Amino acid sequence: MISADIRPDLEPYYTQELDPKNLAPLWEVLPGIAKKSPESACKSFIWHYENLRETLLKSAELITAEEAERRVLILENPGMRGRFRITTALFAGLQLIMPGEVAPAHRHTQAALRFIVEGSGAYTAVNGERTNMEEGDFVITPAWTWHDHGNESNEPMVWMDGLDIPIIETLDATFAEKYNDKYQVPSRPEGDSLARFGSGMLPVDYYEKGTVSKVFNYPYARTREALETMRKAEEWDPCHGLKLRFVNPETGNSAMPTIGTNMQLLPKGFETSSYRSSDACVFSVVEGSGKSHLGNQVYEWSKRDTFVVPSWLPVKHVANEDAVLFSFSDKPVQLMVGVWREDRGNL
């Protein structure tokens, strides 16, 4: 938008010459484009699970998983209400599936992650392979893969959906398709992808290197064991504690090409140094409690809470007890185009 405070001698040129030809003067808007540092509409915020759970369960009384196709409450960033996103680049929501329900199969060009928040025994099926899901598991649904969900347990199942919807929307590359049945008939045994691609080995004649991990469930039990083993070395990063990233075992790159995912351990009493980075980040608390200083705000968090850290906002975590945090962001995209930046405490 051109400033209302323009030179009188330029106004006729703008209105009579440029506007009719769908042209605009860059010099009028350049200060708002070439900024010294990020200025995002994304705001810091925390969603306390204990305040959301009853509201989430109530949705099951009003609409079935099949009617809704996906019964999800969107975690809308307060700075971007109505835009259906938690950061500028990413979508997040809490999905509920009740005992005996099936969320019908479909596919879309948006890539999705599922991070299991509550429950045990529900499944996700991706391209014919099912995986049972437990709290803390990180599950991938790659772009344009058939997927459905079902709950064969006796308790509600809740997970966080994280998708690159805003990125795909910006590229005008949104496509979706419904499956010809309610759910897929399994064509591979459960655990097949983890055995083939996640055990430090590959099939002998497999040489392809894909952009997305062939492992689509990273079980929390394995992740937690890795963190606990590594803590014995007492090599704590001052900004992150002990932080691991989920990778594509074929390439060592991010498990998902558009969304970076991590798990970190903060031991009791640990206080991180102040840190900021250009990728806005979503955190989900897996274990423990603590607080985070986000700029001038302080958020107290505990198990199953979700909070968001905007781009380039200083963050400092303090653990009241041993705490484990899952996080995701658009860092792989920023790295790919060469714009990712961090500041490790020189604030």
Tell me the per-residue pLDDT of 39-94, one tens digit each, with 9 for 90 and over. 999 999 999 999 999 999 999 999 999 999 999 999 999 999 999 999 999 999 99
Tell me the per-residue pLDDT of 243-266, one tens digit each, with 9 for 90 and over. 999 999 999 999 999 999 999 999
- The CATH homologous superfamily to which domain 45-343 belongs is Jelly Rolls (2.60.120.10)
Distance, in Å, from the CA atom of 114 to the CA atom of 219, rounded to the nearest integer, reads 12
Q: At residue 207, what are phi and psi to the nearest 5 degrees?
A: -130, -5
Instruction: List the domain boundaries for the chain.
Output: 45-343
Q: How many residues does the chain have?
A: 347
Q: Are 112 and 145 in contact (CB under 8 A)?
A: no
CA of residue 171 relative to chain centroid, distance? 19
Cβ partners under 8 Å of residue 170, min gap 6: none
Q: At residue 73, what are phi and psi to the nearest 5 degrees?
A: -100, 120
Is residue 202 very low, low, confident or very high in pLDDT (cuts 50, 70, 90)?
confident
Burial class of 320 by CB neighbour count within 10 A (0 to 12, 13 to 18, 19+): middle
* Max intra-chain CA distance, the chain: 74
Give me the amino acid identity at 246.
Answer: F
